[in-house]
Chain A
Amino acid sequence: MAVFKPVSEGILHVIQSASSITPRLLENLNGDSKRPQLTTPRKMMTSGMPEFEAIERAQQGDGECFEALYSMHKRRVYSLCLRMTGNTAEAEDLTQEAFLQLYRKIATFRGESAFSTWLHRLAVNVVLMHLRKKGLPEVSLQETMEPTEEDGPKKDFGAHDQVLAGSIDRVNLERAIESLPPGYRIIFVLHDVEGYEHNEIAEMMGCSIGNSKSQLHKARMKLRDLLKVTRAERAGARK
């Protein structure tokens, strides 16, 4: 027997990706156009249950509410894990581990930060712990701030008519990120995709702020090269 009933059969009707929901869609989903429109798109939209109540009930061991929280946040956590590891199987394992830790620790959530922020930080720590166990170099502490020849802009890419602006699409950028060396990829994802500040990254990674900035710069330089190669290949294929 399943521990949780499927959410669709339960009292909650969780709408995933609430941030992309339009007021019109909300009306339709609520099934009542006269109902006041919800104006807090990041809150869990449920049938009379805001996110904070779902959290409170999950803290008391309510499995259905926990599943609702999972449904609400699974994409963001999974995307984080996938981008940081570049591996689907690992990302799924880490997503599972992050939510297991969430369940074990949710009673300690005091609302001092947004729940999504708290969960996200927990997920980052799960991924970093995993990478440490694997022995992958996150950030070389011996890394210097001196640019190497490899890090410098290539002459071929310096001309005015070859700037990147307007040439990147989501798929190519995702692929380029995936092909970054692990240490660069982690810093880039944390800073440029997820929006962490250098001081937060330095704390999480156990490195200096300068080191975080250096690695981020190298990651962007590497991406620049990768994206220009991709663009050149596409242009060649069209000829």
Chain B
Amino acid sequence: MRTGEAKAMATQQETKATGIGAVEVPGRDNQMNCADFQRDLPLIIDSGGSEEQEEHLRTCAVCRDLVNDLRYIADQAKLLVPMLEPSPKVWDGIEEKLKLEGLIKPAQARRTP
């Protein structure tokens, strides 16, 4: 088997094994592939990667879309605000328990008559 055929087969096998849509770019044999990049992605996505990783990101549309999606999700999550209010029974329960434990001072005690 010729060298070129062997490399092509290896790439196909890698893609199948990882489920990652590796993009084959002629003449980039020595550069980082998608599997390598995505293996390291959990560690670099929020902090930035090496020069080689950043170069892969610039040239690989699949990984770039992935990173953009993940950053978009993180950005949207930061915008979530506390919307819901607990039911009144939550406070009733707190009040009841503190009363039972004798932890609360009656409010009237500190007030002037």
Known contacts A78-B85, A79-B82, A158-B62; A3/B104 CB under 8 A: yes
C-alpha gap A154/B66 in the complex (Å) = 10
Contact partner of A67 (CB less than 8 A), chosen from B81, B86, B91, is B91
Q: Is B74 a contact of A192 with CB atoms below 8 Å?
A: yes
Interface members, chain A 57-115 (any B CB < 8 Å): 60-64, 66-67, 70, 74-76, 78-80, 82, 91-92, 95-96, 99-100, 103-104
Closest Cβ–Cβ distance, residue A58 to chain B (whole Å): 10
Write the chain A residue with the least CB distance to B104: A63
Cα distance A202–B77 when bound, in Å? 20
A-B contact count (CB 8 A): 157
User: Within the complex, which residue of B19, B74, B80 is in contact with A152, where a contact is CB–CB below 8 Å?
Assistant: B19
B contact residues around A38 at 8 Å (CB): none
Q: In whole Å, how far is A79's beta carbon from the nearest beta carbon of chain B?
A: 4
- Contact indicator A173/B65 (Cβ below 8 Å): no
User: Are A214 and B42 touching (Cβ within 8 A)?
Assistant: yes
Considering the complex, give the chain A residue whose CB is closest to the CB of B83: A79
Given A163, A173, A192, which contacts B68 in the complex, CB threshold below 8 Å?
A163
Is A163 a contact of B69 with CB atoms below 8 Å?
yes
Are B99 and A3 touching (Cβ within 8 A)? yes
Contact B18 A163 (CB under 8 A): no
Chain B: interface residue count, which band? 35 or more
Q: Are B73 and A79 in contact (CB under 8 A)?
A: no
A158 contacts which chain B residues (CB < 8 A)?
A: 21, 61-62, 65-66
- How far is B80's CA from A80's CA once the two chains are assembled, in angstroms? 11
| Sample of 20 A–B contacts (CB below 8 Å) | A3-B95, A75-B85, A78-B84, A80-B82, A92-B86, A95-B86, A95-B90, A99-B94, A103-B103, A147-B18, A153-B19, A154-B19, A162-B65, A163-B68, A164-B68, A164-B72, A170-B79, A173-B73, A173-B76, A220-B70
8 new A-B pairs (CB below 8 Å) besides A3-B95, A146-B39, A170-B80? A4-B95, A78-B85, A82-B84, A91-B86, A149-B18, A188-B77, A210-B43, A217-B45
Q: Which 10 A-B pairs have the closest CB atoms?
A: A217-B42, A79-B82, A192-B77, A152-B19, A61-B105, A75-B82, A78-B86, A149-B19, A76-B82, A63-B104
